[in-house]
Structures are given as structure tokens and as C-alpha cells.
Amino acid sequence: MGLQDRLSRELVAAWAIAKKDVAIYYLRPGTIVGGVLFPLFMFLAFTAGKLGTAAALIPGLIGITTLFSASSIEPVSIPIERRTATFDRLLAAPISLNALVLGESLSGLLYSVAIALVVFVTALLILMTPIASIFPILVGIFLSSLCFATMGTLFAAYPTESPGDIISMVNVVRFPLIFISGVFIPLATLPSIGQTIAYFSPLTYANDLIQGGYYGKTTFNPLMDVGMLVVFILIFQFVANWLYKRFNE
């Protein structure tokens, strides 16, 4: 079997897994609460707290939308599929674990991109939010969605049949990320320890890239933002792959 054939096979299978998740899990209550309502309430809380105007907070809203939406599918779907033994069907399919992890993450990616684009277009049409360049915003939405979707798949590797167990673990990471990534509180105003920790958050680079699209200036070089997000995606993919293999033993 040639490399091209193998890659094609893996992508077809990954896409089939993603389509299955889209059909089954997008409208589940747990997914809607975690992927849509959480970021919306966070946005309203920061707006009501007068940390900025609604229009000024849109870049941050897009950032946390990708964080919550992308990482809300697999923590729900994979434990449910363990319980119904349908996950065994995927584990026994003639595909690699990489394709399985990618397929699971793809559904989170599509979900997140769709919701983030709704926020982006709504802000553009209703709040007339000014934009410096659309390209970094779209790249930021895509890469951060893939990054956080892979993170969700990684957490879902924990061998439990209860979505609540995974969601609790993911939240331990998701909530602190909002406060240390310059989403609503600028990085420059964080204490030095906070600024150091921010370097280890993928949301920092996603937010920086998206803000660059809105304001025309970034804290880091945009290429570094892209590079760091790609590095995080690869790390999450690798660790997820390893964990699924490990827990499957």
C-alpha cells in the first residue's frame, strides 16, 4: 500500500468519523451548553463588568468561542461511545490512531469554525466592528479551532464512560486559560508570573492573531503566533495518540 493510498484511506475514514459526530452530537445539550452558552455568558459577564465595549470585546469573544466550542464535542462524544461500545468499532477499523484522533478533532474544528464565524459576521453587521485585515482573523479562527478540538480529543482519551468526568477535567484547563491569555485582560497588565505562564497557553497566540486582524497590531510576530499554534496542534495530536494507545492496553 503506497503512501498516497494510505493517506487517502486515512482521510476518508477521518472524514467519515467527523460526519458521524456532526450528525449525532452537535445538538446535544452538553455540547450546546459547553460550546455556545459558556462563551456567550463569559462575554456578557465581561461586558456587564465594563471591561470594555461589546465591540471592543469581540476579538476576545471569538477567542474563547473557539476554545469552548472546539473542545466541547469529544469530551461528550467519546465517553458516550465508550459506554455504547461504538468507540470499539472505530478502534477496530483499518485506520491508524492518528486518523481516529484527527477524525474526532475534525468535528470539533467544524463546530467551532461555524460558531466563531457566526460571532464574527454578527459583530460585523450589527456592531459594525472595524477590521484591519480579515486574513489573520480567519487563520486565527481555523488554527485555534483545530488546536482546541485536538485538546478536547486528548482529554477524552481518559478511559471513562461519563462525559462529566472529561468536561470537569477540561474546565480545569479552559477557565484559567481565559485569564492568562490576554483575552479580556491585556498581557501587559498581568504580573510577570502571569506573563510567563501566558507563553504556554495556545489561547495567547490565537487571541494575539485575531486581535491583530482587528487592531492591526500584535504582541508577537503573526508568524510566531501561527507557528506556536501549529506546534501546540502537533503536541496535542502526538500526546492524544499516545494516550489512546496507552489506555487501550
Binding flag, residue 246, another protein (CB under 8 A): no
Binding flag, residue 7, another protein (CB under 8 A): no
The cell numbers describing 160, all together, are 471513562
d(CA 54, CA 44): 8
Kindly write out the interface string for residues 92-111 of this chain, putting x where it contacts another protein by CB under 8 A and - elsewhere. Answer: xxxxx---------------
Q: Looking at 84, 133, 162, 168, which residue binds another protein (CB under 8 A)?
A: 84
Binding flag, residue 8, another protein (CB under 8 A): yes
Binding flag, residue 24, another protein (CB under 8 A): yes
At closest approach, how far in Å is the CB of 89 from another protein?
5
Helix axes 74-83, 134-155, angle to 10 degrees: 30
Residues 6+ apart with CB under 8 A from 74: 104, 105, 107, 108, 149, 152, 153, 155, 156, 166
At closest approach, how far in Å is the CB of 87 from another protein?
8
d(CA 81, CA 237): 20
d(CA 75, CA 72): 6
The cell numbers describing 120, all together, are 464574527
Binding flag, residue 133, another protein (CB under 8 A): no
Binding flag, residue 90, another protein (CB under 8 A): yes
Which residue, 45 or 246, is less far from another protein as judged by CB? 246
Which residue, 19 or 219, is less far from another protein as judged by CB? 19
Region binding another protein by CB under 8 A among candidate stretches 16-24, 31-39, 64-72, 104-112: 16-24
Which residue, 7 or 51, is less far from another protein as judged by CB? 7
Place of cell 495518540: 241
What one-character DSSP code corresponds to residue 128?
-
Which CB contacts under 8 angstroms, 24+ apart, belong to 40-48?
A: 42/178, 46/184
d(CA 75, CA 41): 20
Binding flag, residue 127, another protein (CB under 8 A): no
Binding flag, residue 20, another protein (CB under 8 A): yes
Q: Which residues are near another protein by CB under 8 A?
A: 1, 6, 8-9, 12-13, 15-17, 19-20, 23-24, 84-86, 88-96, 248-249
